[in-house]
Chains A and B, each alone.
Chain A
Amino acid sequence: MKKKEKRKEFPQPIFGYALGKVNYCLMLSGYLIVIVGFLLMLGPTSGEQYFEPDIFSVQRIGVAPVTILIGFLIILIGIIFGNKNIHKTNT
């Protein structure tokens, strides 16, 4: 924690960025996992003449959605992860 500065006027803005490299990497990998999940969900489809049982296969309604959810969670973690990776640009 920073030392307390008791000032009447508005505190000086602090420069820098909220997210660091690790955050970006986590978010990127999270989203890649989401995309993998969506890809796992693809497959043959039912049509006018034929009912395709594969649309309810374990891969498509079990593995894929859980993967997507994990991906979204990793993005969330990516946003709130750590607080040391902040590079300051004090100019």
Chain B
Amino acid sequence: MINYKRINFICGWVAFAIAALAYGLTVEPSVSFWDCPEFITSGSKLEVGHPPGAPIFMLTANLFSHLSTDVSHIALLVNGMNALFSAGCILFLFWTITRLLFILLKDKEEQINTGKIVLVMSSGFCGALVYAFSDTFWFSAVEGEVYAFSSFLTALTFWIILKWEEDSHSVQSDRWLILLAYLIGLSIGVHLLNLLCIPAIVFVFYYKKTLHPTPKGGLVALLFSFLLIAFVLYGIVPGIMKMAGIVELFFVNQCGFPFHSGTLLYAFVLLLVLSSTVLLTHYTGGIRLLISFFIVCCLLLGVTLCANGLQTVALTLFFSFSVGYLLYKKLCAIPQQALRVLNTLTLSLLVIVLGYSSYALIVIRSVANPPMDQQSPEDPFALKDYLAREQYGDKPLLYGPTFLSPRALKESGHFYVYEYKNGEAVYRKSSANQSGGKDYYQPAGYKIEPQYQLETCVWFPRMHDTRHANGYRDWLGTMNGKTVTYFDKASSRNVVLEIPSMQDNLRFFFSYQLNYMYWRYFLWNFVGRQNDIQGSGQLEYGNWITGISFIDRLLIGDETLLPDYLKQNKGRNVYYALPLLLGIMGMIWQVSRGKKGVQQFNVVLLLFFMTGIAIVLYLNQTPHEPRERDYAYAGSFYAFSIWVGMGVAALAHFLSRKIKMKVSVAFATLVAWAVPLQVLGQTADDHNRSGRYLCRDMGKNYLMSMSEKGCPIIFVNGDNETFPLWYNQEVEGFRTDTRVCNLMYLTGGWYVEQMRRPAYCSPGLPFSLAPQFCRDGVNDAVPVNPIVNYTIDEAGNRHEVRVKDYIEKIYRDNPGKYPYGKDPFEWSNIVKYWLSSSDEDLRCIPTDEVHISIDKVAVAHSGMRIPSGVELPQFMKINLKDRSYLIRPGILLVDLISSCNWERPLYVAVTCNLNEYLDIKNYLVCEGMASRIVPYRTDSLVENTNTQEMYKNVMTRFKFGGLDNKSLYMDETNTRMAVVLHRQLVQLAEELYKEGDTRKALQVLQQCSKKIPFSALQNAEYTRVGRMGLLYHLLGETEQGRKVWQTDYDKQLQYLRWYEGMSDSRLKQNKKECIEKIYLTNDLLSEAVYAGMLTGTDDIACFLRYVSKLRVRFVGFGTEYTAFVNTLNTLLKEYQNLNPSGVISRK
């Protein structure tokens, strides 16, 4: 026995070491894309990241960040911490598998023979290492996200409950339960995923404490476990904040104490009551008294505050009586046991609160107002919303609107407006001058929930988001539909509408949410993955494959016809479904091992379900997610890996029926090592992030594209153009004179407030719109040139009178009087008379073309280059004609252009899509990875690239993230970024060529070839490589040009080959993509032909061959495709004008 324990201990650490080694060798040396730079910033400098925050992660990451004095190593250290946590997860997985197997294999004397020990250890290694090397888990293990830590806690939690089960006969074993409660409390400060272990825990408890488990008992246990999750998730987590809010409000607003006094008092009383209840269990035997104290503790935690108004009272009474009654009924029989149970219960509550109190960190840091302070959760009200992730909005789960449901209307005066349901009251910290220097929470209305026409709401709404209407339709193809009629108040008539039926909802749920967004990920990890390119249903991207060609042919078609780059993709991993088979065998075998086996199976199954399919149900995902979401389900892959490990033992047992046990154990051990090795062999190349610095360097490139003078501001939008910049500024202290302003965040009032503050060497943003007019609820979205009246002409026709017409009329009728300023459409006057109006109804943009007057002296001083021949106009005119509303980011963008007065340079990241906010793309001049906003129009004659500045930036200041390392692994996100960088360089070279500076153009191209070789771009479908080749040719480097162009052209031709080889039904499905590719290839070819680059007609012939073949196929499909066939005919005809020498006679 002692022998087994020691072997188990050592083998576990060996698994840990193997995993740690693998992760250590492949860890990313700096930040990674997506949220990692943000998390590393939040850890290193304790700034506040996105909701719901991760204070415990921040603390541990902070600890690791101190291990080096060199700021450029901090990211590596945090990544390394995650590598260790992940290896720790593998350690506990190993011990979990061996523990479960031990229970199934031990004899009556709790003994196990040597053969079985070998088998148990092999199983442990197999399961643990398959998971260690699996795609999803390895991905999170080598970067700075919270998922590695979260996985570690899940593994630890699961292992602890088994530990408890092992020695639950002693009183001390209760400690494991208390420890579990503490870990759950702490894990709220990492990621809420850990709460999903609770059902599995409850079942282990149930099986241990019940002599004869019954299905009915199981059901009760299941319900109880769900209640327990709800108790923590919807009770304690928001409840404490709500209670704190109530006390805080009373003390600050009623008693006039300073901010936070109520919160502190509440925290003190809560801890005092909880700990005295714990102590009381030691000193009194009065069960009824103790139960009352326990209930008081729960109520103090605010667990019943999740309802509104009277419901809260009812819930409180119900909770108190039912919990009191149940506890008393269960416990009164054996008073001493009652004490033990109550002691454990109150201690558990106490330690959950202790763990959860880590959130004080978030508040304290938010009060300090660091540059990154997302949602500014510095009071209990804001913190509650932060924890509930309110800004992400609600997704209907059981009952709600479909994506076609119209909003409900209600009457307001003569108009109908959207109906909202009022939620809880909102309070906002009041600034000192508003409340006479005293701290005060200003009531700021109520939270509102949009309401939908009830007739159009359905049960189990899986297609719910209006913004994804096209995505839903695309995915379903044809919608079955259900006709509903509702009364439209605005037009006062009945409207008939077709909304998705239950069948459509279920079809979407099964085919997309469950199959595509869960099982596909599952199979990636245990069967195989086609490539690492994000799929949205296509045959060539991101599917699961087996590696067994005849099966894959059925799944995705003939793989040999795929474009070469997809065939060679490092993310192509095949395991021949071996881990899956092992897992299934493990499941079957486990169930067949008697009562214990079935119980174990149920527990693991619960973990598997809760961390997989339950999340799918909860997330209610929409089509076209911005990235693959497999990381969210790592927990369920963990659970399945337990079965993979069991599969080894299963194999040995199945085989032992035919052959000797010894031989079968030997064979199973062989399999146990062969399978993880196969997985490792496949996944090692696409998880090796060593040498990759692209994320960090892209952040630097954005920042370095800006002028060194004048504390410039850069506007950004997406995650990957925001977080890397923050990381560079906050962690590495790089270009802290600049300011990053995320336009999406400007929709939140808190962010505007933060942008007003200075940060490091950068002064605050000089908004001219006063703070009280940028708050949430004020100027969120203002109408553009709204209708004020109607006139009826002689013919009886109605004409709209808009504000602009109205103002123009006043100014015409009263010359010399300027009620709305001299130029009423000038921005400063719009701010003064309209947006800052005390009358809410007047807050609008009174024109469809805003003027910003240009201070020519300031422009001259700004150092901005004005191209020769450009006469600065008097006004910069911003067109709003296509908009009926302007949302806050748009308003503030105009405001900043006006108030920065060109003295403070404004830039827009080249990857930032401004369209959503404002149309100023004709006022941008590119200077690298950012475009400067200029006062003159760049659309007509003036070039939109400042080649001089950009050349300097590209050649001397840009960094290329180690892309020139040919063996670097480029995943899709990195490739996309490399493509953007490459595009900018090629654009610069093109502009230089147009300007006639061929020497510099060639230099840029050579720099581009050297720093961003094709190896870095080969994973991308669209690149500027073809254009680059063309440019080489034009610059006289014909041979090089031809070579470069050919690589791109061949890739496109290979796509045509792939489409051409598809079966009829698949080709029909991929019609759109196929056409797109034909056009793209045609563009590439015709440009080359036009430039006289092609010497023979081989390339053209090759293209025409594919086009003709495809044409024939489409002709065969019938009349539906006539239009498409006709365009192909025209295309083919165009190429008939070629003369034999290949020189083109076409314009």
Q: Which A residues are closer than 8 A to B by beta carbons?
A: 2, 9-11, 13-19, 27, 31, 34, 38, 41-43, 45-52, 55-56, 60-62, 65-66, 68-69, 72, 75-76, 79-80, 83, 86, 88-89, 91
- B62 CB contact (under 8 Å) in A34, A61, A79, A88: A61
Can you list the 7 inter-chain pairs with the closest CB atoms, starting with the nearest?
Answer: A18-B174, A15-B336, A46-B369, A16-B171, A51-B758, A55-B368, A13-B337
Contact between A69 and B59, CB atoms less than 8 A apart: yes
Contact between A80 and B45, CB atoms less than 8 A apart: no
Residues of B within 8 A of A31 (CB): 271, 354
Contact between A38 and B361, CB atoms less than 8 A apart: yes
Query: What DSSP secondary structure best describes chain B's contact surface?
Result: helix
Contact between B45 and A61, CB atoms less than 8 A apart: yes
Stretch in B178-186, B970-978, B1115-1123 with 4+ CB within 8 Å of A: B178-186
Q: Which of B307-348 contact A (CB under 8 A)?
A: 334, 336-337, 339-340, 343-344, 347
Known: A46-B369, A80-B179. A15 touches B757 (CB 8 A): no
List 13 contacting pairs A-B, 8 Å CB cutoff, sorted by A.
A14-B340, A15-B339, A17-B339, A18-B172, A18-B175, A47-B757, A48-B756, A56-B45, A69-B63, A75-B182, A79-B175, A79-B178, A91-B336
Residues of B within 8 A of A16 (CB): 171, 340
Contact between B178 and A75, CB atoms less than 8 A apart: no
Contact between B182 and A18, CB atoms less than 8 A apart: no
Interface residues in B, total, Cβ within 8 A: 53
Contact between B169 and A49, CB atoms less than 8 A apart: no
Tell whether B942 is near chain A: CB-to-CB under 8 Å.
no
Contact between A15 and B45, CB atoms less than 8 A apart: no
| CB-based nearest A residue for B335 | A91
Contact between A2 and B343, CB atoms less than 8 A apart: no
- Shortest C-beta distance, B916 to chain A (Å), equals 28
Residues of A within 8 A of B282 (CB): 17
Contact between B66 and A2, CB atoms less than 8 A apart: no
Contact between B758 and A18, CB atoms less than 8 A apart: no
Besides A14-B170, A31-B354, A62-B62, 13 new A-B residue pairs in contact (Cβ under 8 A), listed by A number: A14-B340, A16-B171, A18-B171, A38-B360, A42-B364, A46-B758, A52-B368, A61-B44, A62-B66, A65-B63, A69-B62, A76-B179, A80-B175
Q: Once the chains are docked, how many angstroms separate the CA of A14 from the CA of B369? A: 53
Contact between B758 and A50, CB atoms less than 8 A apart: yes
Tell whether B759 is near chain A: CB-to-CB under 8 Å.
yes
Q: Once the chains are docked, how many angstroms separate the CA of A79 from the CA of B172? A: 10
Contact between A17 and B171, CB atoms less than 8 A apart: yes
Q: Once the chains are docked, how many angstroms separate the CA of A74 from the CA of B358? A: 14
- B365 CB contact (under 8 Å) in A9, A41, A47, A86: A41
Contact between A79 and B351, CB atoms less than 8 A apart: yes
Residues of A within 8 A of B340 (CB): 13-18
- A68 CB contact (under 8 Å) in B343, B344, B361: B361
Contact between B45 and A75, CB atoms less than 8 A apart: no
Q: Once the chains are docked, how many angstroms separate the CA of A64 from the CA of B891? A: 41
Contact between B46 and A61, CB atoms less than 8 A apart: yes
Contact between B182 and A19, CB atoms less than 8 A apart: no
Residues of B within 8 A of A38 (CB): 360-361, 364
Residues of B within 8 A of A47 (CB): 369, 757
Q: Once the chains are docked, how many angstroms separate the CA of A55 from the CA of B59? A: 16
Known: A65-B63, A66-B66. A41 touches B361 (CB 8 A): yes
Contact between A45 and B367, CB atoms less than 8 A apart: yes
- Shortest C-beta distance, B258 to chain A (Å), equals 14
Contact between B62 and A66, CB atoms less than 8 A apart: yes
Q: Once the chains are docked, how many angstroms separate the CA of A60 from the CA of B361? A: 11
Q: Once the chains are docked, how many angstroms separate the CA of A86 from the CA of B1010? A: 71
Tell whether B281 is near chain A: CB-to-CB under 8 Å.
yes
Residues of A within 8 A of B924 (CB): none
Known: A17-B340, A19-B178, A61-B62. A75 touches B171 (CB 8 A): no
Residues of B within 8 A of A60 (CB): 46, 368
Residues of A within 8 A of B62 (CB): 61-62, 65-66, 69
Contact between A11 and B169, CB atoms less than 8 A apart: yes
Q: Which of B754-801 contact A (CB under 8 A)?
A: 756-760, 764
Tell whether B451 is near chain A: CB-to-CB under 8 Å.
no
Tell whether B1142 is near chain A: CB-to-CB under 8 Å.
no
Query: What DSSP secondary structure best describes chain A's contact surface?
Result: loop
Known: A18-B347, A46-B370, A89-B339. A75 touches B354 (CB 8 A): yes
Q: Once the chains are docked, how many angstroms separate the CA of A65 from the CA of B364? A: 11
Q: Once the chains are docked, how many angstroms separate the CA of A31 from the CA of B270? A: 14
Q: Once the chains are docked, how many angstroms separate the CA of A55 from the CA of B211? A: 58
- Shortest C-beta distance, A37 to chain B (Å), equals 9
Q: Once the chains are docked, how many angstroms separate the CA of A89 from the CA of B369? A: 53
Q: Once the chains are docked, how many angstroms separate the CA of A62 from the CA of B875? A: 51
Tell whether B357 is near chain A: CB-to-CB under 8 Å.
yes
Known: A17-B281, A17-B340, A79-B351. A72 touches B169 (CB 8 A): no
Tell whether B60 is near chain A: CB-to-CB under 8 Å.
yes
Tell whether B711 is near chain A: CB-to-CB under 8 Å.
no
Known: A15-B171, A66-B62, A79-B179. A49 touches B357 (CB 8 A): no
- Shortest C-beta distance, A86 to chain B (Å), equals 6
Tell whether B652 is near chain A: CB-to-CB under 8 Å.
no
Tell whether B577 is near chain A: CB-to-CB under 8 Å.
no
Residues of A within 8 A of B1012 (CB): none
Known: A43-B368, A69-B59. A86 touches B172 (CB 8 A): yes
Tell whether B58 is near chain A: CB-to-CB under 8 Å.
yes
| CB-based nearest A residue for B179 | A79
Contact between B170 and A2, CB atoms less than 8 A apart: yes
Known: A31-B354, A56-B45, A79-B351. A48 touches B757 (CB 8 A): yes
Q: Once the chains are docked, how many angstroms separate the CA of A46 from the CA of B45? A: 15
Q: Which of B1010-1025 contact A (CB under 8 A)?
A: none
- Shortest C-beta distance, A6 to chain B (Å), equals 10
Indicate with 1 or 0, residue by residue over B974-985, a CB within 8 angstroms of chain A CB atoms.
000000000000
Residues of B within 8 A of A66 (CB): 62-63, 66
Q: Which of B51-71 contact A (CB under 8 A)?
A: 56, 58-60, 62-63, 66
Question: Which of B186, B365, B760 neighbours the largest number of chain A CB atoms within 10 Å of its CB?
Answer: B365
Q: Once the chains are docked, how many angstroms separate the CA of A51 from the CA of B711? A: 15
- Shortest C-beta distance, A46 to chain B (Å), equals 4
Q: Which of B171-205 contact A (CB under 8 A)?
A: 171-175, 177-179, 182, 186
- A13 CB contact (under 8 Å) in B45, B334, B351, B360: B334
- Shortest C-beta distance, B774 to chain A (Å), equals 13
Contact between A41 and B45, CB atoms less than 8 A apart: no
Residues of A within 8 A of B337 (CB): 13, 15
Contact between B211 and A9, CB atoms less than 8 A apart: yes
Indicate with 1 or 0, residue by residue over B275-293, a CB within 8 angstroms of chain A CB atoms.
0000001100000000000
Q: Once the chains are docked, how many angstroms separate the CA of A15 from the CA of B339? A: 8
Q: Once the chains are docked, how many angstroms separate the CA of A61 from the CA of B74? A: 14
- Shortest C-beta distance, A82 to chain B (Å), equals 9
| CB-based nearest B residue for A9 | B211
- Shortest C-beta distance, A42 to chain B (Å), equals 7
Contact between B179 and A49, CB atoms less than 8 A apart: no
Residues of B within 8 A of A86 (CB): 171-172
- Shortest C-beta distance, A52 to chain B (Å), equals 8
- Shortest C-beta distance, B1140 to chain A (Å), equals 72
Residues of A within 8 A of B66 (CB): 62, 66
